[in-house]
Amino acid sequence: MTTERPRPLVAGNWKMNGTRAATETFSAILEGYDAGLRSKVDLLVCPPATLIYLFAVAAVGTPVKVGGQDCHAATHGAHTGDISAAMLADVGASYVIVGHSERRTDHGETDEMVKAKARAAITAGLTPIVCVGETREERDAGRALAVVGAQLAGSMPEEAARAPVVVAYEPVWAIGTGLTPTVVDVAEMHGFIRQSLVDRFGAAGRNMRLLYGGSVKPGNARELLGVAEVDGALVGGASLVAEDFLAIARAYMA
Ligand SMILES: O=C[C@H](O)COP(=O)(O)O
């Protein structure tokens, strides 16, 4: 049994922000990802779909990865407005976020749908980032572990036993609010998620990267990313500012 930790990943989720002018921000991220950072942490940026190709071209020759924020479960067909995992791969994406709480809420995505999307991503050669997380009410009712456990059980595809999958724990109440759980709560949840993954996927579950997301900022990154079983961050607002995003990644510098 390996005790080696997965290499950390700091991923930016730009959500519905950014036009072509934001290529400047992305270029600053590419430039700031120096040898020191490269030796410690992987970087991923998930811009709106309209910018994926542009960013992927800009990132050629660098280790920075580009990803999508969602994909359809089908490979192609009559799904107006949707994008398949293969289409994301075609324009240079190597990751895709699935089951973000904003998709679950805004688009009524169920665990079953998220699982189908994750499976489609794997089939297309992408690494899915499967998001889970409880609401404030669920935490206050003492149900956080049960809710996240059920989301994991329903959203993680069986293929995770043999294909790379990332899990992101994002308490819904911490997203974009400036609020974060205590490090004790993060440690409890990540320990629980790790155990659930090991129970289901064995060694693959032990090596899966577990990201924390929800109001990660340069000022709290070192504390949050230092928690046991936290292998990186999924960053929203702070990833829109190159210097803040890089400062979060620098939490891994000694
Ligand atoms: O996917 C990212 C998260 O929803 C976190 O967003 P935030 O860093 O703006 O709180």
ipTM of the complex: 0.99
Q: Give 58 Cα–ligand 1 centroid separation in angstroms.
A: 24
Beta strands, E only, 112-178: 127-132, 166-169
Considering just the CA atoms, what is the radius of gyration of the chain in Å? 17
Residue 5: predicted pLDDT: 83
Residue 3: predicted pLDDT: 57
**Overall fold of domain 9-252:** TIM Barrel (3.20.20)
Closest ligand 1 atom number to CA of residue 175: 10
- Cα–Cα nearest to 141, from 112, 110, 173: 173
User: Residues 121-165: pLDDT tens digits?
Assistant: 999 999 999 999 999 999 999 999 999 999 999 999 999 999 999
User: Is residue 65 part of an annotated ligand binding site?
Assistant: no
Q: CA 192 to CA 240: how far, in whole Å?
A: 31
Q: Give 100 Cα–ligand 1 centroid separation in angstroms.
A: 10
Catalytic residues: 100, 170
Residues lining ligand 1, CB < 6 A? 13, 100, 170, 175-176, 213-216, 234-238
CB 144 within 8 A of CB 154: no
User: Residues 67-126: pLDDT tens digits?
Assistant: 999 999 999 999 999 999 999 999 999 999 999 999 999 999 999 999 999 999 999 999
User: Is residue 176 part of an annotated ligand binding site?
Assistant: yes
* Structure tokens, 167: 């899990």
User: Is residue 219 part of an annotated ligand binding site?
Assistant: no
User: Ligand 1, atom 6: nearest CA belongs to which residue?
Assistant: 236
Residue 2: predicted pLDDT: 47
User: Is residue 15 part of an annotated ligand binding site?
Assistant: yes
Distance from chain centroid for Cα 100 = 9
- What is the reported pTM? 0.97
Across residues 32-43, what is the average pLDDT?
Answer: 98
Q: Give 213 Cα–ligand 1 centroid separation in angstroms.
A: 6
Pocket test for ligand 1, best of 134, 175, 217 (most atoms within 8 A of CB): 175
Q: Give 44 Cα–ligand 1 centroid separation in angstroms.
A: 14
CA distances from 183 to 1, 3, 173 (A): 27, 22, 15
